[in-house]
Each structure stands twice: as structure tokens, then as C-alpha cells.
Amino acid sequence: AQSVSQHNHHVILSEAASLELGCNYSYGGTVNLFWYVQYPGQHLQLLLKYFSGDPLVKGIKGFEAEFIKSKFSFNLRKPSVQWSDTAEYFCAVNALDNQGGKLIFGQGTELSVKP
């Protein structure tokens, strides 16, 4: 069965620290990859997505992610976090031989940024 694993359940950083959140998936075929963010009390918003092409993807708010096919990974990075980045982050995969486009989500990483 397809699955997505996020290595860190809770990350605590100080402002200006660098961030890297790990995401690995298990599926051998072609995939679309996503990172979503959920700010406290709000709904999921798309941070960035990978469909094809350049494996280094830039998203909103200074986030980027790199797709490494050989490692089945799609790690999220940001060089310098801000207090406003405090949120829960979800990695998601859409395996393209699925019937339709259902997303398989990781369990989420809660990021707390200290001012």
C-alpha cells in the first residue's frame, strides 16, 4: 500500500533558524507531490507542488522542496523561519495510476517557532 512518512512530529526552532522537514513516500510509479500548511484555526493551504520538470520547487513564503526520486523523498526547506511560520505541515502524494486524484498524507509535523 502507498504510504507517506514524515520523520518529525514536532519541531521547535528559534526565529531565523533554518528548517528542513523530511518526507518520504513508498510508491514506485509516477507521482505528484505536495506540501500543505495548516495555520492554527485555519484550513489547509497549498505551499508548493511538484508535477514534473525541475526537482527543486519554490513555493510561497520562501519555502522550497526538492524531489529526489532515487530516495523517494520530498523534503521541505526554508532558510530562515519566522514566528508566523508556526503551523502544522503536511506532505502529500498523489500516485498517478490511482483512479482519480486521491491524496495520501503524512501524519503531519507541528512546527513551533519561538520569537
Partner 1 sequence: NAGVMQNPRHLVRRRGQEARLRCSPMKGHSHVYWYRQLPEEGLKFMVYLQKENIIDESGMPKERFSAEFPKEGPSILRIQQVVRGDSAAYFCASSSTSGRINEQFFGPGTRLTVL
Which among 41, 57, 36 is positioned nearest to 104, based on CA atoms? 36
Q: How far is the CB of 92 from partner 1 (least distance, A)?
A: 8
Does residue 72 belong to the site contacting partner 1 (CB under 8 A)? no
Does residue 108 belong to the site contacting partner 1 (CB under 8 A)? yes
Check if the beta carbon of residue 35 is closer than 8 Å to that of residue 91.
yes
Which among 114, 74, 90 is positioned nearest to 39, based on CA atoms? 90
Q: How many residues bind partner 1 (CB under 8 A)?
A: 26
Among positions 74, 106, 111, 113, the unique one binding partner 1 when judged by CB under 8 A:
106
Which among 61, 62, 78, 69 is positioned nearest to 21, based on CA atoms? 78
Nearer to partner 1, 19 or 92 (CB): 92
Chain residues in the site for partner 1 (CB under 8 A): 4, 6, 32, 36, 42-46, 49, 51, 90, 92, 94, 96, 98-108
